[in-house]
Amino acid sequence: MNYYNPLLLTPGPTPVPDQILYATQLPMVGHRSSDFEAIAEQAFKALKPVFGSENEVMILTSSGTSVLEASMLNIANPEEDIVIIVSGAFGNRFKQIAEAYYDNVHIFEVEWGQAVNIPDFIDFLKSLKRDITAVFSQYCETSTAVLHPVQELGTALRNFDQDIYFVVDGVSCIGAVDVDLNRDNIDVLVSGSQKAIMLPPGLGFVAYNDRAKARFSQVTTPRFYLDLNKYLKSLTENSTPFTPNVSLFRGVNAYANLINEEGLDQVIARHYAIRDALRQALNALDLELLVQDAYASPTVTAFVPKSKDELDYIKNELKKRFAITIAGGQGHLKGQILRIGHMGQISPFDILQVVSALEILLTEFRNESYVGKAITQYMEVVKAYV
Ligand SMILES: Cc1ncc(COP(=O)(O)O)c(C=O)c1O
């Protein structure tokens, strides 16, 4: 019998707080009723601070990939040139979407595990000698646990050419990072429900500035369900163009209440404290970190076990004996790295469980005692935070 409470530490989906679960299970209401209008009005507004947006945030009933696709189809015309920063599996997702619709797609490859080097990227844009319509990047590249320097990138891009639209995939970090569309020169910022926003999967979010909003109505790329103009029009009527996931909209409002209680700044600080503590702990366990400190995401941490056998042992035993689920690598990093998600409703003491379980597993596997080593390092960082 397994007597541990299951602990879901994948970089999404993430544990759903009871308050959100409760809200999502309330009796159904008609989506064309005043009941739903009240829910929607609150939800569109509630997400503004989380996305650092002056405009109300659009909510689509579909997964994160749909809003990646929507962000592209509503910003660039089919014949226009677009640039994609590819630094992992989700950069590749943007690339695949682009190749389905566009002929003039330019890829800036970044080594997996590294952050974009901004001067090199600007040089790349110059070398294209093309009129670029939009640049697409991840904020957190979930597959490598890199947090790109989006604020600096936005500024550099604006200084290079202020007409370029900057579109950011924040699926795996919005809700855990300090973002501001104006300050960071982001035109469109998308995210999904099942990560730091702590909802079950099923909603996509689109934040945008006024310039992007105006652009959506000028673009001619064919789209139907993903035509953001439809969502913008409905938003003014506290509604949605198609049947929404009413339950998850209620979940958005329950999420906002939780964030308001804790305070968004505190939520963000908690994520960074856990990141820093976990990195110390992994160092103490002689586990190599994939990403350097400067670009380490506050929502997911990737590490490199010493061998494939050690990797399998950690992942399988964590699950079998301790009921802890973590994630493997994606693409060519599959079988090379493990990833611990630490976003949403995660306290420093939840992560302490995985740290202490890792001490036991590595003591067994390497036949060398790690007991107490990592948790001491971990608590040294956490004590300054709590
Ligand atoms: C950064 C990033 N972008 C996009 C996606 C795709 O989202 P979904 O799987 O909800 O379609 C994910 C999912 O993990 C992600 O982490």
Mean pLDDT, rounded, for 339-346: 98
Structure confidence by residue, pLDDT tens digits, 221-279: 999 999 999 999 999 999 999 999 999 999 999 999 999 999 999 999 999 999 999 99
Structure confidence by residue, pLDDT tens digits, 172-212: 999 999 999 999 999 999 999 999 999 999 999 999 999 99
Q: How far is the CA of 64 from the centre of ligand 1 (A)?
A: 5
Q: Is the CB of 172 under 6 A from ligand 1?
A: yes
Q: Is the CB of 192 under 6 A from ligand 1?
A: yes
Q: How far is the CA of 123 from the centre of ligand 1 (A)?
A: 29
Atom of ligand 1 nearest to the CA of 143: 16
Which residues, at least 6 apart from 370, have a Cβ–Cβ distance to it below 8 Å? 284, 285, 358, 359, 360, 362, 363
Reported confidence tier of residue 3, pLDDT bands at 50, 70, 90:
confident
Structure confidence by residue, pLDDT tens digits, 275-312: 999 999 999 999 999 999 999 999 999 999 999 999 99
Q: Is the pLDDT of residue 138 over 80?
A: yes
Mutate to test the pocket of ligand 1, among 14, 62, 67, 142 (most ligand atoms within 8 A of CB): 142
Q: Are 59 and 249 in contact (CB under 8 A)?
A: yes
pLDDT at 386: 86
Domains located in the chain, CATH noted: 7-14+263-385 (3.90.1150.10), 18-260 (3.40.640.10)
Strands (E), 128-284: 132-138, 140-141, 146-147, 165-169, 188-192, 203-208
Q: How far is the CA of 91 from the centre of ligand 1 (A)?
A: 10
Mutate to test the pocket of ligand 1, among 60, 66, 68, 93 (most ligand atoms within 8 A of CB): 93
Atom 8 (ligand 1): residue with closest C-alpha?
Answer: 64
Sign of the four-CA dihedral 213, 218, 221, 227? positive
Q: Give the C-alpha separation, 342 to 360, whole Å.
A: 20
Instruction: Select from 138, 279, 90, 270 the least CA-distant residue to 198.
Output: 270
Mean pLDDT, rounded, for 19-34: 98
Q: Is the CB of 90 under 6 A from ligand 1?
A: yes
Reported confidence tier of residue 339, pLDDT bands at 50, 70, 90:
very high
Q: Give the C-alpha separation, 87 to 131, whole Å.
A: 23
Q: What is the mean pLDDT of the chain?
A: 98
Q: Is the CB of 64 under 6 A from ligand 1?
A: yes
Neighbouring C-beta atoms of residue 81, cutoff 10 Å = 17
Q: Is the pLDDT of residue 2 over 70?
A: no
239 against 2, higher pLDDT: 239
Q: Is the CB of 169 under 6 A from ligand 1?
A: yes
Mean pLDDT, rounded, for 33-57: 98
Q: Is the CB of 142 under 6 A from ligand 1?
A: yes
Q: How far is the CA of 362 from the centre of ligand 1 (A)?
A: 31
Phi-psi group of 238: left, alpha or beta (phi > 0 → left; psi -120 to 50 → alpha; rest → beta): left
Reported confidence tier of residue 49, pLDDT bands at 50, 70, 90:
very high
Mutate to test the pocket of ligand 1, among 90, 193, 339 (most ligand atoms within 8 A of CB): 90
Residue 130 annotated as lining a ligand binding site: no
Q: Is the CB of 65 under 6 A from ligand 1?
A: yes
